[in-house]
A and B are shown apart, each in its own frame.
Chain A
Amino acid sequence: MSLSWPDDVFAELQSARIRQVAYVPDAGHSRLIQRCHADAGMHTVSLTTEEEGVAMLAGAWLGGERGVLLLQSSGVGNCINMLAFNQECRIPLLALVTMRGEWGEFNPWQLPMGGATEPSLSAAGVRVYRAEAPDAVAETVRAAAMLAFQSYRAVAVLIGQRVIGAKRFEK
Chain B
Amino acid sequence: MSDRALDRRAVAARLLRERRDALVVTGLGGPAYDVAAAGDTPLNFYLWAAMGGAAMTGLGVARAQPRRRVVVITGDGEMLMGLGSLATIAVDAPGNLAIVVLDNEHYGETGMQPAHTGRGVDLAGIARAAGFADAVSIRTDAELDALARRLFTAPGPLFATVKVSTETPAMVLPPRDGPYLRSRLREALLGPEAHS
Binding site for B on A (CB under 8 A): 19-20, 43, 45-49, 51-65, 67, 81-82, 84-85, 88-91
Are A63 and B49 in contact (CB-based, < 8 A)?
no
Proximity string of chain B (165-196) to chain A, C-beta cutoff 8 Å, 1 when within and 0 when not: 00000000000001101100110011001100
Within 8 A of A (CB), among B138-177: none
Known contacts: A52-B84, A52-B88, A90-B178. The answer to whether A63 contacts B64 by CB under 8 A is yes
The residue that A59 contacts in the complex, of B25, B88, B91, with Cβ under 8 A, is B25
Q: Identify the stretch in B13-21, B53-61, B101-109, B111-119 within 8 Å (CB) of chain A at 4 or more residues.
A: B53-61
Q: Separation in Å of the B177 CB from the closest CB of chain A?
A: 9
Are A90 and B59 in contact (CB-based, < 8 A)?
no
Is B137 in the interface zone, CB < 8 Å from A? Answer: no
Proximity string of chain B (86-107) to chain A, C-beta cutoff 8 Å, 1 when within and 0 when not: 0110011000000000000000
Proximity string of chain B (105-137) to chain A, C-beta cutoff 8 Å, 1 when within and 0 when not: 000000000000000000000000000000000
Distance A63 CA – B49 CA, assembled complex (angstroms): 19
Are B61 and A62 in contact (CB-based, < 8 A)?
yes
* In the complex, chain A residues whose CB is within 8 Å of the CB of B60: 20, 55-63, 65, 67
Are B88 and A51 in contact (CB-based, < 8 A)?
no
Label chain B's interface by main secondary structure: helix
Chosen A-B contacts, 9 in total, with CB atoms closer than 8 Å, are: A52-B84, A55-B50, A55-B57, A59-B57, A59-B60, A59-B61, A60-B61, A62-B189, A82-B53
Are A85 and B186 in contact (CB-based, < 8 A)?
no
The contact size tier of chain B is 35 or more
Are A49 and B61 in contact (CB-based, < 8 A)?
no
- Of all chain B residues, the one with the shortest Cβ separation from A57 is B60
Is B77 in the interface zone, CB < 8 Å from A? Answer: no
Distance A116 CA – B91 CA, assembled complex (angstroms): 32
Are A84 and B56 in contact (CB-based, < 8 A)?
no
Are B57 and A90 in contact (CB-based, < 8 A)?
no
Are B190 and A64 in contact (CB-based, < 8 A)?
yes
* In the complex, chain B residues whose CB is within 8 Å of the CB of A45: 59, 88, 92
Q: Separation in Å of the A82 CB from the closest CB of chain B?
A: 5
